[in-house]
Amino acid sequence: MPHSVSQSRNRGHRSLAAFLVGVTAPFATADCAGSEGASPSPKGISGDWQLVFSDEFDGTELDEEKWTVGSPYGSGDSDVTEPVNTDELQCYDAGLVQVSDGILNIRAVKKGVTCGGKEMDYASGMVNTKDHFQQRYGAVEARIHLPAAAPGVIANWPAFWQVGAGWPEDGENDVMEGLRGRACFHFRSAAGEGGERGGCADGDYTGWHTFGASWQPGRVEYYYDGELVGAVTEGVTDAPQWFMLNYSVQPEVGGPTRLPADMRVDYVRAWQR
């Protein structure tokens, strides 16, 4: 996720040990074979799919067997973690992530807070599946409500994405990223010319919509509300990636700042053929 479209993401300091495909519990990895159960299916993406990950957020708390709150790159065990990259204007605060009424709520607010030794004017929420679930290839989908800053303009900087442990070599799949008020998709890696490929979808994606992607060798297709909106065929890597959901603040990169605001998530699902 989150970086300016014209600027490569600075994550060189995040060299984590590469995850192995086929790791068993407690770390679930989806590869070419999935678990049993093929319903529901990803919207608009044809094929015989097996559901390998699903969170419908039906409880009253975030499922800690599936998710960790905050940035996976944060230091220590603090409830407040630093931004994912230097463009972001907020810290990630665990108190801004809540589950209720079948919805994951990720809030962004104006609040002075310190993280990574810096004082920030904003705070927001993030969740990730690092050390819980990752997959290589397959389909992913989330149903997400995006607040509007103006009619048809996405507020703030929301993102639903996947990233590998050894970025940028392992790649990053931005299924949906709110850039300058639009819903955009990219696949970023060291192998891609300029570091990224992708684009933005036409139309109004404020409110409730589904955002999905089908990742196969050498190609990623992006589906919004079940309709194909674009594809990337260069720089597509094959290393496993985990999920990230976050709602950050940066009006020069994301949409206009509107606070407080909630990015709401109805479900997150993943499939294998």
What CATH number is attached to the domain comprising 146? 2.60.120.200
Q: Which of 26-40, 83-97, 218-232, 248-262 has the weakest average pLDDT?
A: 26-40
Pairing of strands 133-135, 28-30: parallel
In a domain? residue 241: yes
What does the pLDDT read at residue 74? Answer: 74
Question: Is residue 47 situated within a structural domain?
Answer: no
Confidence (pLDDT) at 191: 83
In this structure, is residue 184 part of a structural domain?
A: yes
Domain that holds residue 224: 55-272
Residue 41 in any domain: the answer is: no
* Residue 186 counted as domain residue: yes
Which pLDDT value is given to residue 73?
Answer: 86
* pLDDT for 193: 63
Provide the pLDDT for residue 28: 57
160 has pLDDT over 60: yes
Of the candidate ranges 6-20, 186-200, 233-247, the one whose mean pLDDT is the lowest: 6-20
> Hey, is 131 helix, strand or coil?
coil
The mean of the pLDDT values for the chain is 87
Ranked by mean pLDDT, the top range of 73-87, 96-110, 182-196 is 96-110
Q: What is the full DSSP assignment across 191-256?
A: TSGGGEEEEE--S---EEEEEEEEEETTEEEEEETTEEEEEE-SS---S-BEEEEEEE--TTTSS-
Does residue 38 belong to any structural domain of this protein? no
User: Does residue 22 fall inside a structural domain?
Assistant: no
Q: Where are the alpha helices (H) located in the chain, listed in sequence order? A: none
- Token output for 9: 């993401």
34 vs 207, more confident:
207
Number of separate domains in the chain: 1
Is residue 192 scored above 80 in pLDDT?
A: no
Least confident of 120-124, 170-174, 192-196, 198-202: 192-196
**Residue 195 confidence (pLDDT):** 67
31 in a structural domain: no
- Is residue 261 over pLDDT 80? yes
pLDDT tens-digit series, residues 2-25 = 443 333 333 333 332 222 222 223
* CB burial string 94-123: b at 16+ within 10 A, e below: bebbbbeeebbbbbbbebebebeeeebebb
